[in-house]
Structure 1
């Protein structure tokens, strides 16, 4: 009996070894940008190498293990600073049993807005999925993440750029997400709750309740509208309520080239009515200005477009009007635009180039131009 078990195990390991895959990427990013109001464009050069390994296990390729790590060298000529880091980007197992999917380890997770919680975490996610209903529960610990690559909004913490691996502040983050696809015709209704709390240092608790309605309006027009209420408490203060609202409308013209045109709007509350300034959990740049504000006390309305004229070329462009929403008088703040081209030269070589510019209506020192050239070689 023992011999049979050992033989079966060896066969399974041998099959997994033959199915295993591995590879990596070299990434070069040259960014010329305004870093201070008066110095003009300065080069921020980043070079990175990533390695990954993946192998299935069990009877299905859907059950698999993936690990990936990265080393990056950065030289910022604007501040005359060299920054290096090593990171374990991913180390996770996915296991499927009937309608259940279990993911455990270090992996990426994002909330429905993509602007509140969007980062790696060390933890577990469980999804139960049926055609008419799906629900996901997840929980993460942040204290082992590298703060050079994951930025958590915490007034007590700032990453040490001289460290290869500087651990993030210790938080627990957990959530529950449910979706009813096709509940009203082809419209889907989703809801998500997120709770985060600091495990050491000054108390910092944040919770979010989100609801989303999405679906097609016609065969080629799709929309999604998401509202999120935030509840935050810092130290001995009272709980404060805030709001983040996001709306998107996307049109896919029936053309030979793959094309899309989109409209978007974002509101992150300031001091309006019962609301206080919105605070997310993961740092997320809202405006490409010198001060790079988070999603708080502002609003944006924008348009974007993408077109794929040939199989290996993608063109993207977008523009936003930015509004100051610090108090009840929401005022025009500035304008930003971006344009980018992605070129898949061959299957293993990708090149891209892009430009972003922001023009402030009041403070010219906040104006910013960024030009980025990127190349990725896979092996």
Structure 2
């Protein structure tokens, strides 16, 4: 018993030393979002939410190359549809967004990065996988080569903050939702990525492979019969001074006999004027056309701002985006896209046009205000949507 107390005192003392050296940050946010579906601007949907987030970085050595990083959040939201007195919802969510042990090791050839715990990882295409998972990742980075790999599990994540689709493109939700926390559908996830920076004429070539396998978990979710695999090739680099491009193609499959396809392209100009930028972009996610089957990602990511909130499947869009910092502490951006649906084997159907803009102003160094507005004018009035959102975040 005395020995146990002795070790407990040692562990507490060590933890206290590390805790006192921790870097702590806190954020308090308030968001008001108003959506009008249809063209008549009646019975808007109001969502009011408040969130508190805490971030901590606890170093384990003097250089700070080995550390523990965590991000925890507690949020509340109230959602109400005007005109429907019985349709309102209060929800509280508690989550551990990130909890990882990280280590950075340098050698003559480059740097090694090791992470283990709850991580956030995006994929190359930015449309397949962009979420947290519980697992580990390793990366080697040098001037001419960047290689990384990860593996993890999704079944312990909070469904209230993460949307995972099955192989048919549908998100599973439990019949009886719990307060604060619901477990996600369980999958084993793994991936490998390799990049060759500035390989030829300052162009970077990147390749990535991803796999997702259905497994068991605490959630009572139905079994997903199909495993999913993705392969991405991306090229990016400068075309001229201040002019850059990005081009990527992603193939998806469940059995390596039928394939879906996602293509993305953009050209960006960064003129030497008030930190401004102009980007022309286009994307295409295959439907059931020609040699392709519908492309289905893993994380549910909305492809446009319509009331239907479609995913990247059987849809294409092209548009223009511009941003500028007109005065100190003020960031402004506007954009617009034409959107088309891949509904049959004959032609693409015009779906609608969206315009959007946002302004972010740092009233003080620790207080930021953001105003966002958008309008989607659909070919059908049922898909039209107008949205206005105001967000305030204070850090301390």
- 1:330 and 2:348 equivalent? yes
* Residue 271 of structure 1, CA deviation: 1.4
Deviations 1:241-285 (A, max 9, x none): 100001111101122x11000011010000121101110000000
- Indicate the residue corresponding to 1:32 in structure 2: 34
- Indicate the residue corresponding to 1:88 in structure 2: 96
Q: Which moved more, 1:194-203 or 1:83-92?
A: 194-203
- Indicate the residue corresponding to 2:228 in structure 1: 206
* Residue 330 of structure 1, CA deviation: 1.4
What SS class does the counterpart of residue 172 from structure 2 fall into? coil
Where do 1:83-232 residues align within 5 Å? 83-98=91-106, 99-154=111-166, 155=170, 157-159=172-174, 161-200=177-216, 201-232=223-254
* Residue 126 of structure 1, CA deviation: 0.2
Q: Which whole-Å CA distance do the structure 1 matches of 2:284 and 2:35 have between them? A: 27
* Residue 11 of structure 1, CA deviation: 10
* Residue 63 of structure 1, CA deviation: 2.1
Q: Which whole-Å CA distance do the structure 2 matches of 1:374 and 1:102 have between them? A: 35
Q: 1:161 to 1:264 in 2, by over 3 A?
A: farther
Uncovered stretches (5+) of structure 2, i.e. residues with no partner: 1-9, 82-86, 217-222
Quick one: which of 66, 70, 86 aligns to 1:67? 70
TM-score (norm 2): 0.88
The answer as to whether partners of 2:250 and 2:262 remain within 8 angstroms in 1 is yes
The answer as to whether partners of 2:145 and 2:195 remain within 8 angstroms in 1 is yes
TM-score (norm 1): 0.92
What SS class does the counterpart of residue 180 from structure 2 fall into? coil
The answer as to whether partners of 2:30 and 2:50 remain within 8 angstroms in 1 is yes
What SS class does the counterpart of residue 377 from structure 1 fall into? strand
* Residue 15 of structure 1, CA deviation: 6.3
The answer as to whether partners of 1:212 and 1:227 remain within 8 angstroms in 2 is yes
* Residue 43 of structure 1, CA deviation: 1.3
The answer as to whether partners of 1:178 and 1:190 remain within 8 angstroms in 2 is yes
Q: Which whole-Å CA distance do the structure 2 matches of 1:244 and 1:30 have between them? A: 33
- Indicate the residue corresponding to 1:281 in structure 2: 298
- 1:348 and 2:370 equivalent? no
Deviations 1:83-107 (A, max 9, x none): 2211111101110122211011101
Q: Which whole-Å CA distance do the structure 1 matches of 2:264 and 2:15 have between them? A: 47
Uncovered stretches (5+) of structure 1, i.e. residues with no partner: 1-7
* Residue 212 of structure 1, CA deviation: 0.5
- Indicate the residue corresponding to 1:252 in structure 2: 270
RMSD of equivalent CA atoms = 2.0
Q: 1:84 to 1:10 in 2, by over 3 A?
A: closer
Q: Which whole-Å CA distance do the structure 2 matches of 1:240 and 1:370 have between them? A: 38
What SS class does the counterpart of residue 356 from structure 1 fall into? strand
What SS class does the counterpart of residue 240 from structure 1 fall into? coil
Q: Which whole-Å CA distance do the structure 1 matches of 2:16 and 2:155 have between them? A: 36
Q: Which whole-Å CA distance do the structure 1 matches of 2:38 and 2:375 have between them? A: 14
What SS class does the counterpart of residue 276 from structure 2 fall into? strand
What SS class does the counterpart of residue 311 from structure 1 fall into? coil
The answer as to whether partners of 1:299 and 1:324 remain within 8 angstroms in 2 is yes
